[in-house]
Structure 1
Amino acid sequence: MVRRGKPEDGPILARLHSQSFETGWPEADFATYLRSDQTTDQVWVLDDPPVGFSVVRHLVDEAEILTLAVEPAGRRQGRGAALLRAVCEALSQLGVGRLFLEVAVDNEAAIGLYRRHGFVDQGVRRAYYQRRGGERVDALVMAYDLPAAH
């Protein structure tokens, strides 16, 4: 089940993000997204309590996945794919035609997930991510043309 995030999800989402990325977002960031009355920022949560989530920003007919994460124990079980499909469907219903994201070039699992769902490479942002040790990693920019809502 995928639902919109609620303010009380913030601590869980911060924990999931820190388990998924070398530099996790602080709880305050999630609180901002979850309390935003801007329709441009949306948080989609998988299951209750959350085992995965995505933060999306959209404006008119384009959107960007800012982050997508699934708890480590739930990976490779179709949860990320289910979350991605639900987010794409919701965005399509909102009239979004194109969805973008950036992913670290060494995140092969995520790149595979996105390619299996129709995302195509658009370019590379050099030295986009900074790792804890100071190493810089390129980001692959990917895009997906969403089907029109029926």
Structure 2
Amino acid sequence: MHTPVISHAASNWNSHQLAHILTHCFEGYLVPFNIDGDTFATRFSAEDISLNDSKVWLQDGEPKALAAIVRRGQTSRLAAFAIRPELRGQGYGKRFIQQLIDEAQARGDRQMWLEVIVGNDSALALYKRMGFVCQQTLVGFHATGSTLFRPTGELLEIDPLLMAKKMMTDSRLRLPWLSAPETLYKLPGKAYVLDDVAYAMVVPNAQQPKLRMLYVDTATRGKGYAKKLLTLLHERFPGLSTAGSIPEQVAPLYLSCGYRQDPVTQYEMLLKF
């Protein structure tokens, strides 16, 4: 007889403990995963984690699974979900996801998002059985050794909040959660503007700086500003890469600027209640 697996609110643990639990539960995952407490706190606070709605499942007092739930308004997202290897393939994934769905509906959420790595066939099949539908493919890029042309122009640093407010005025803009303006301005990054029409958000790192967003005013799109800005960023931040949250349809822009697409891609999925 199996010992019961009982869920508890993640608010019972601090960021360092949750980071350890998440890394522990991702053991043997398709893509190696490791996160420390400071990174956990920075990343998930920017994504608006709800520790009361996030869950840690215990069996005999030992953490066996973790779900990080982030929320904005009546929309929630499964930002991370991991189960220990010894519990996989026994129906626990379906049980845990159903609990998260039931709780989201009970608090009045209208929809739930998640991302799943392409190639994680068991997880993809589970999410589809639970009613999630693929919306788009998300990809990432990294800069190669040289740019393909030499643009001119000056990048001016601005407050990331100003960039986020600019993006929020674009009513047609629908970005993945990781690239949304509500996420960006809370990250420890730097925002830049080119010619008052093209914006970028970079999280500096000596080893691998991350480009989190590229945005061009609607009135000036199609005039080469995105390509110019992307190339200038490439020159200023050697080794620049993006988060793996770029909609696949804009891949030609990055490829034309000397970036290479990363092998790991994700499906963005949505469940409407």
TM over 0.5: same fold? Answer: yes
Using the alignment, how far apart are the partners of 1:22 and 1:29 within structure 2? 16
TM-superposed CA distance for 1:124, in Å, is 0.8
More strand by share: 1
Of 138, 141, 146 in structure 1, the residue corresponding to residue 268 of structure 2 is 141
Q: TM-score, normalised by structure 2?
A: 0.45
Contact 1:64-1:100 at 8 Å conserved across structures: yes
Cα deviation for residue 83 of structure 1 reads 1.1
Say which of 14, 20, 24 aligns to 2:34.
24
Residues 1-150 of structure 1 correspond to what in structure 2 (within 5 A)? 1-5=6-10, 6-7=12-13, 9-10=17-18, 11-20=20-29, 21-30=31-40, 32=41, 40-42=49-51, 43-47=54-58, 48-127=61-140, 128=244, 135-146=262-273
Aligned-pair RMSD on alpha carbons?
A: 2.5
Are the aligned partners of 2:139 and 2:262 in contact in 1 as well (CA < 8 Å)? no
Distance in 2 of aligned mates of 1:46 and 1:82: 11
Q: Deviations over 1:17-46 (max 9, x none)?
A: 35434122223345x38xx7xx84232112
Q: Using the alignment, how far apart are the partners of 2:99 and 2:39 within structure 1?
A: 23
Does the CA-based 8 Å contact 2:65-2:81 persist in structure 1? yes
Displacement of 1:79 in angstroms is: 1.2
- C-alpha distance 93-77 of structure 1, shift in aligned 2 (>3 A): same
TM-score (norm. length: structure 1): 0.78
Q: Choose 1 or 2 for highest CA Rg.
A: 2
Give the drift of 1:4: 0.7
Cα distance, 1:49 vs structure 2: 2.2
Alpha carbons 2:68, 2:80 under 8 Å: kept: yes
SS across alignment from 2:265: strand
Shift of 1:135: 4.5
Per-residue CA deviation, residues 27-70 of structure 1 (Å, 9 max, x unaligned), is: 3345x38xx7xx84232112242211110101111111111010
Cα distance, 1:26–1:142 mapped onto 2, change above 3 Å? same
Mapped to 1, the partners of 2:69 and 2:94 lie a distance apart of 16
Please, which runs of 5 or more residues in structure 1 have no aligned partner?
A: none
Gaps of 5+ in 2: 1-5, 141-243, 246-260
SS at match of 2:63: coil
